[in-house]
Amino acid sequence: MDLKEKLIEKTLLVIALSSIAILALITFFIFEEGLPLIWKIGPRAFILGNRWVPSQGEFGIFPMIVSSFWVTFGALLLGIPLGLACTVFLCELTPRSVGLFLRPAIHLLAAIPSVIYGFWGLVVLVPLVRHYLGGPGLSIFSGSVILGFMILPTIISISEDSIRALPKTYKEGALALGATHWQTIWRVMIPAARSGIVASIILGIGRALGETMAMIMILGNAVQIPSSFLDSARTLTTNIGIEMGYASGDHRQALFATGIVLFVIIMLLNSAAIVLSRRRSGG
């Protein structure tokens, strides 16, 4: 190996290590700022508390945890079937000319700023929900619909890669045994790519849990445990985004502690996705 190759190798190593170092610094900073508040009021009181009143020293985030999972669950109800349907269409049913247009259009969804999604939801979706379904319109339902479209590129792109990575013998063998095209897709290809599809869904969950700006505009930001999809709510991310600008003291530390909870949840989801992806590849 000559000097130039060694230099390139060391440079790439430094870049890779710098990414890990930045992640470690972010993690250290969040935990350093948030853990004192958690220990001060107690993990149970912080995570399971029902009242968020910083002016009175009450920092319960349980309503926001519940709201985060409500919105994410609603997004998955839309995103999973629509994402899988688009994936199957792109992989097996679309003409080549249509696919050349459709794939970039789907990937473009990931490039649209979240504030644009939020603005569209606020102007178009919220009034429709208020008029036809009732309630304030600024609700979990509206947020779930917007998030459902926002997670589509994640689910579609990873699921498509999983299906296209399958050996051609899977499809050819099923067709040779007399299965129809649809039976081959539904009973052979999708089950064979299951781990990759599940990984895409888990990453979609992480994307939904981490969304902030669009949810600030659409959810209504009410700190309460929701009882239906038409209720207003506040998620963990919107709570941080709304209040960090003026928080100080214990209030500021409580927002960092909220970030710790969100950080742990998303890291667990991403770890599960990595494990499932390795299972798919046999690693």
Give me the domains of the chain, ranges plus CATH numbers. Answer: 66-250 (1.10.3720.10)
Please write the tens of the pLDDT for every residue from 31-55: 999 999 999 999 899 999 999 999 8
What pLDDT does residue 82 have? 94
Give whole-number Cα distances, 243 to 18, 98, 99, 240, in Å: 31, 46, 44, 6
| Residue 277's pLDDT band (cuts 50, 70, 90) | low
Please write the tens of the pLDDT for every residue from 130-170: 999 988 889 999 999 999 999 999 999 999 999 998 998 99
Closest C-alpha to 70, from 134, 151, 140, 145: 140
Please write the tens of the pLDDT for every residue from 72-93: 999 999 999 999 999 999 888 8
How remote is the C-alpha of 145 from its chain's centroid?
13
In whole angstroms, give the CA distance from residue 151 to residue 191.
22
User: Hey, which residues does 58 pair with through a beta bridge?
Assistant: 53
Neighbours of 273 (CB within 10 A): 22
Is the whole model's pTM more than 0.75, yes or no?
Answer: yes
What pLDDT does residue 108 have? 86
Say whether pLDDT at 207 is over 80: yes
